[in-house]
Chains A and B, each alone.
Chain A
């Protein structure tokens, strides 16, 4: 972000203190967002999310791969965030690497569940094809086109939308003869596809601490002012699915527990809104075809 002047900074902080931010929002309000589905024809599922000026593309690619060595009955979900240099001048060259690694890890913590697959965003056991040999690997890639704050929350919305749009081809396992291994036959009929249940996919609410207050869905200018932030993943059951602390300043433990409950409350509202937007985008997609 281009540096703000001292006067602009104090204006921004003063607004936050009075629960009226520069763009007219209260501290706990999200910017309005739009979701567009099926934007990448090469992917198994995709979505474009615009959250304020932040603009991201999320794609899900399903590929056949090998299951994790310790849990042969599971499939895999791999998450990554790439920040394109178009998103802002600070991401030129390798400038975005550190942030994209941090965001990728935060997504992994929120979506991948425990080591044994419990609490994962999608049912990993359903991705298994041949136990111990073959499974579906869902690669969730987020590409940031324009960064105006809160990339992580937008990415989570994008992944949830892209997963709802994902179609995985049916696989038939043909029995092998004698010692030969069975062959896999992919059914490429587009109507004969498995869908991914997105009911358990969490959303992330990042609360950014600016001065003594914390705000939801910070813009780029507001993020430049952050002392620390807590990214909290919440699912439909109201469970916490992942927490990541970002920023360099410490936070008081009692403030953390406040932030967790506020994030849970905001997350509930956000989940309902995202679900509504996804079904709206789906009906738009159907009327187009």
Chain B
């Protein structure tokens, strides 16, 4: 447990060690784990990538955040509360709109302009993860628009987008019940790999994503795909929850630091 990345928010190693004993499959049952049970990028299975978080990146936005988890790079800008663009019926709460775009150069094969199904799905999942945290009743009739841009897709994109979007909302001063931190995990050949890189996601048999309001201890969004053996699913969720709590600490530190520099200048 020595070589842990500097600003890492990895869950406790104890959980993963239990998993490794139980599943019985030797290490390197697939190429994702080397003989020293480290991943291709040198991380341990339960180790998250070092996270760089920054708020206030886009000066014209009400709030913005930039998140970099190794090669996954995401920029989020929040506009609003402002007049709702959609000429929709009167509503006594506000609208939260979420739009996720993948930059044309974000993936290996060049993307197309216009919202594809992948982007639509990401937007929808982002909305679901955030909507229960934002206090929409505090600004009736208005809308808050969250725009996320994935600059480089390097794995666990949605988790990073949710995390960054929640930071940007906080930066914009939108009232929230709590921050939302999200962590995802891949099941690869019986191993649970927290915060997967793109290469690990391509090899995955299943994946879980948990978005959590850490202080309230409420899950805002969770989905799981693939066939999961009995015990693995519960352990995977536990690892994700733990990851979310750790990530929450990083997020709050980032906001505090930003507030301190803003006050100092």
| A115 interface neighbour in B128, B204, B216, B228, Cβ under 8 Å | B204
Known: A251-B218, A257-B237. A115 touches B224 (CB 8 A): no
What bracket does the count of chain A residues touching chain B fall in?
35 or more
Docked Cα-Cα span, A114 to B203, in Å, equals 8
**Identity of the chain A residue whose Cβ is nearest the Cβ of B234 in the assembled complex:** A257
A176 part of interface (Cβ distance < 8 Å): no
Q: Does B219 contact A (CB under 8 A)?
A: yes
Residues from chain A with a CB closer than 8 A to the CB of B224 are 109, 240, 242-244
User: How big is the B interface, by class?
Assistant: 35 or more
| Complex partner residue of B205 from A109, A116, A243, A260, CB under 8 angstroms | A116
Residues of B near A260 (CB, < 8 A) are 233-234
Known: A250-B220, A257-B234, A260-B234. A241 touches B227 (CB 8 A): yes
Q: Which residue of B lies closest to A112 (CB)?
A: B225
0/1 string, A249-260, CB within 8 A of B gives 1:
111110011001
Least CB distance from A271 to B in Å reads 14
A-side contacts of B205, CB under 8 Å = 113-114, 116, 118-119
* Also in contact, A256 and B206, with CB within 8 A (given A239-B228, A250-B219): no
Q: Which chain B residue has the least Cβ–Cβ distance from A243?
A: B224
Q: Is A95 close to B, CB under 8 A?
A: no
Does B220 contact A70, Cβ atoms closer than 8 Å?
A: no
- Inter-subunit contact A253/B212 (CB<8 Å): yes
Interface of B is mostly: mixed
Partner of A114, one of B206, B212, B230, B233: B206
* Cβ–Cβ < 8 Å partners of B204 in chain A: 114-116
Q: B183 interface residue, CB < 8 Å from A?
A: no
B213-233: which residues lie under 8 A (CB-CB) from chain A? 213, 216-230, 233
List chain A residues, Cβ under 8 A from B221.
Answer: 245
Residue contacts A-B, CB under 8 angstroms, 15 given: A101-B120, A113-B205, A114-B226, A119-B206, A119-B226, A119-B227, A119-B228, A200-B227, A235-B227, A239-B229, A241-B228, A243-B233, A245-B128, A253-B217, A257-B237
B residues whose Cβ falls under 8 Å from a Cβ of A = 120-121, 124, 128, 131-133, 187, 201-208, 212-213, 216-230, 233-234, 237, 241
| Nearest 6 Cβ contacts at the A-B interface | A119-B227, A250-B218, A243-B224, A114-B205, A114-B226, A109-B225
Given contacts A242-B224, A253-B212, A253-B219, 10 further A-B contacts (CB under 8 A): A105-B124, A113-B205, A115-B204, A241-B227, A241-B228, A242-B223, A250-B213, A253-B217, A256-B237, A260-B234
